[in-house]
Amino acid sequence: MPVAKSEGGKNAGHDHLDINSTPRSCLKYSSSKLLQVSETSSTSKASSSATGCSNPTDLNLNSREEEQLESTRAEMGEVREENERLKTLLAAIMEDYKSLQSRIRNVTQQQTDGLLSLGGAGADTGTGADVHVEEEQDHDHLVSLRLGTTSTTKPQTKNSDDNIKEIDNDEMNEGSLRLGLQQTSAGSDPDTPSKRLFRRQNHTTPKRSDDEDEVSRQIHGKKARVSVRARCDTPTMIDGCQWRKYGQKISKGNPCPRAYYRCTVAPACPVRKQVQRCSDDMSILITTYEGTHNHPLPMGATAMASTTAAAATMLMSGSSNPGHPSVEAPIATPNSALLNGLNFNSGLRQYYQPPNPTITLDLTSPTTILSQTAPRYTSTNFNYSPMAMDHLHHPNTPWNGHLGLGTQIYSNMMSNVMIANQIQPPTAPAPTPASTFLQKSSDQKNSYKIAKEITTNPSFHSSIKDAITSFVSNGNSGSGANQQHANQMLLRSSFGHSTTPKPSSSSSSPVDKDRDHIIKN
DNA sequence: CGTCTTTGACCTGCGC
DNA sequence: GCGCAGGTCAAAGACG
Ligand SMILES: [Zn+2]
């Protein structure tokens, strides 16, 4: 039944464009601009004193100008300091990146020495994730190397290529930092991509041998998902992509319907996303991404794509190991604990928990949570990126500039990840918060492995690098839009600008009489 | 008229 | 095998 629409039928349009309309105080200017300001102030001051202003008005003006000059100078000093800090941070990041690259090379060497044979022999079901984790565990938590920006990573990305499709190689080699989720893409599938892409992911492909069937299920049935929880007043989160709605259902325990979107940037793009509001807090929007874009992304979409891809990669390489007993654990328990300000969340249960391995980026709390779950098999959640959320909720708060924010994100991420690496993050079967942190060795091992995975995962670094690059490159223009673009990755949703899909009549739509449209939460 | 949303129907997996 | 639930299809309507 058609429902009265509140907006036009065409939601289309790159929703990232609207951010430009959002005014934002940008206290950061380029040094040259500040200098100009400074010079201007000095000039005016000099001129006014030269004219020998003697009346009170002139004196007032004079002192005001002096104040302005002072404040400008102070500002300039801050800017310089910040710039220095940024330089240092950037250098550190680059160093880190280089070390990672060398590390990758080392791992490559190791793998070519024998890991590949191990991968081929092992694994009961033979999924990519299985093999991957096997390798990790047997070799002291090797980093997932299926991603990256350098060609040197390619050999590793080969790992059990049944799952890992490197459809984006060409694009990736063109300087793009596109990451992750290749394993979920069907772009390189020998089968006709355009047909398969829209075939039901979990549905058995018709007319295939049992083996193929199994493989197919492995490929399509265990897609990694990245779920992003963010406060957002708009119907859908702005991620820079173009989406087309293809379905909607109302869940039992959640009055808010779940909307299904498909990427329409490219006709055959397999990426989909589900959007649903949290029943507990309607202001929280839960967006779940699935798949990898098989096309160049719009400028505004790369950040989010990279982030989600990196997270998904982490997930796939970290814990989804259906066959391995050491990481086998029940679904996350609704426990959540704070340790040293880190919100080790294991409370994903309160959200919808899809059957697929899912990683959740929670941008709703001061401490951003990254929760990694592979329901039925493993569940490990740990802190990922505690951003300065105060800034997010107070856009006018001085951020020390966009670059500052970018690097801050990075440093926060990394520092906390490091902490997570030392502290044994909690894992699933924890009846009490206290025991949450005292896990069985297997869980500890898994958690540790995942934490380590994050800290060493090149894709993760690349993702951050992407974001920072975004900041830096935009920073040259010195416009307020700089922040916007970079913030798209992790922050924008918190600001809640949007244009995209029109406010679906969803919530106001008539309740589905069809049981099929009731989704049990 | 083309594109997009809406929504009932349908398909598949899973648990009992 | 049956029913439930998640997910998708596709016809019909809305919109520019
Ligand atoms: Zn796409």
Cα of A187 to ligand 1 centre, how many Å?
A: 11
Cα of A305 to ligand 1 centre, how many Å?
A: 9
**What are the angstrom distances between the C-alpha of A275 and each of A184, A312, A361, A407, A494?**
19, 17, 14, 29, 15
Cβ within 7 Å of strand B: which of A 199-228? Answer: 200, 202-204, 206, 217, 221
Among A276, A299, A314, the domain boundary falls at: A314
Q: Is residue A146 in some structural domain? A: no
Domain total of chain A? 2
Q: Does A253 contact strand B, using a CB cutoff of 7 Å? A: no
Cβ within 7 Å of strand C: which of A 325-354? Answer: 352, 354
Query: Does residue A361 contact residue A228 with C-beta atoms inside 8 Å?
Result: yes
Give the pLDDT score at A463. 54
Give the pLDDT score at A260. 93
Q: Is residue A458 in some structural domain? A: no
Q: Does A206 contact strand C, using a CB cutoff of 7 Å? A: no
Cα of A68 to ligand 1 centre, how many Å?
A: 49
What is the domain extent for residue A228? 223-314
Give the pLDDT score at A109. 67
Which residues have C-beta within 8 Å of that of residue A95, sequence separation ≥ 6?
none
Give the pLDDT score at A427. 35
Which domain CATH number covers A247?
2.20.25.80
Go through A49-67 and write b for each residue having 16 or more CB atoms within 10 A of its CB, e for each that does not: eeeeeeeeeeeeeeeebee
Q: Is residue A48 in some structural domain? A: no
Strand C nucleotides within a 7 Å radius of protein CB atoms: 4-10, 12-16
Among A314, A339, A371, the domain boundary falls at: A314
Which residues pair with residue A344 across a beta bridge? Answer: A337
Cα of A265 to ligand 1 centre, how many Å?
A: 5
Q: Is residue A267 in some structural domain? A: yes
Neighbouring residues of the ion ligand 1, judged by CB less than 5 Å: A 263, 265, 269, 271, 293
Per the structure, the residue whose CA is closest to nucleotide C7 at C1' is A200
Strand B nucleotides within a 7 Å radius of protein CB atoms: 2-14
In degrees and rounded to multiples of 5, residue A55 shows phi and psi of: -75, 160
Q: Does A272 contact strand C, using a CB cutoff of 7 Å? A: yes
CA geometry: angle at A288 spanning A283 and A290, to 5°?
Answer: 165
ipTM of predicted assembly, 2 dp: 0.94
Distance of CA A286 to the CA centre of its chain: 13
Q: Is residue A204 in some structural domain? A: no
Q: Is residue A229 in some structural domain? A: yes
Give the pLDDT score at A67. 79
- The 3 state secondary structure assigned to A469-509 is HHHHHHHCCCCCHHHHHHHCCCCHHHHCCCCCCCCCHHHHC
Length A309 CA → B15 C1' (Å): 32
Q: Is residue A297 in some structural domain? A: yes
Which residues have C-beta within 8 Å of that of residue A468, sequence separation ≥ 6?
A90, A93, A406, A407, A410, A486
Among A296, A314, A332, the domain boundary falls at: A314
Q: Does A440 contact strand C, using a CB cutoff of 7 Å? A: no
Nearest to A463 by CA among A178, A229, A184: A178
Q: Does A511 contact strand B, using a CB cutoff of 7 Å? A: no
Query: Does residue A324 contact residue A314 with C-beta atoms inside 8 Å?
Result: no
Q: Give the global pTM.
A: 0.46
Per the structure, the residue whose CA is closest to nucleotide B10 at C1' is A516
Where chain A has pLDDT below 50, the residues are 1-54, 56-57, 115-221, 319-354, 374-448, 450-452, 454-456, 461, 464-465, 467-521
| CA atoms of A504 and A512, how far apart (whole Å) | 15
Question: DSSP letters of A348-384?
Answer: GGGS---SS-EEEEE-SSSS-EEEEEETTTEEEEEE-
Q: How many other C-beta atoms lie within 10 A of the C-beta of residue A30?
A: 14
Length A34 CA → C4 C1' (Å): 65
Q: Does A509 contact strand C, using a CB cutoff of 7 Å? A: no
Give the pLDDT score at A245. 92
User: Which runs of consecutive H residues, i.e. helices, occur in A139-208?
Assistant: 154-157, 169-172, 193-197
Q: Is residue A203 in some structural domain? A: no
